């Protein structure tokens, strides 16, 4: 969701609408905002005498127990988010399992830096193709 329009812009647009004979569409076009937004601002101003945007919604609370997750991080050391998720889900049981994205967000909120890739076997074999003969030619 984008950031709300600045309060100064809202105040100027509402003042222009309230003090003039112009329609919502004309004033909204002048201030380069949607007419529906201007209507909401005017309604809000008439009801509360303020055009300050409402606070953003809160979303859902995280199901991750941060104390438990931090203990698992200390115990597992240099683990990936997949490994941390598996260890966390073993600890909490089947009913309170969480997805890796929940662990990922919880780690970010707690200030941890985490690996983005799981461990990958390194290719110990030689190159899969030969170098071009043209790379060694003088011509």
pLDDT in tens, 87-96: 999 999 888 9
In the prediction, which pLDDT does 126 show? 54
Question: 82 CB contacts (<8 Å, ≥6 apart)?
Answer: 100, 118
Separation CA 90–CA 96 (nearest Å): 10
Task: Judge whether 28 and 10 are in contact, CB under 8 Å.
Answer: no
What's the pTM?
0.48
Across the range 22-26, mean pLDDT stands at: 96
Digit-coded pLDDT (tens) for 67-79: 999 999 999 887 8
CA distance 116 to 77: 15
Rg for the chain, CA atoms, rounded: 28
């Amino acid at each position: 969701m984008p950031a709300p329009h600045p309060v100064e812009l809202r105040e100027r647009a509402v003042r222009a609408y309230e003090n003039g004979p112009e329609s919502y569409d004309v004033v909204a076009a002048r201030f380069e905002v949607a007419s529906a937004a201007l209507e909401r601002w005017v309604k809000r101003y008439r009801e509360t005498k303020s055009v300050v945007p409402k606070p953003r919604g809160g979303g859902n609370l995280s199901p991750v127990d941060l104390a438990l997750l931090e203990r698992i991080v200390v115990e597992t050391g240099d683990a990936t988010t997949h490994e941390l998720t598996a260890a966390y889900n073993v600890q909490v049981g089947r009913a309170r399992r969480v997805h890796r994205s929940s662990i990922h967000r919880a780690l970010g909120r707690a200030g941890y830096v985490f690996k983005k890739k799981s461990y990958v076997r390194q290719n110990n074999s030689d190159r899969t193709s030969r170098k071009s003969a043209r790379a060694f030619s003088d011509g």
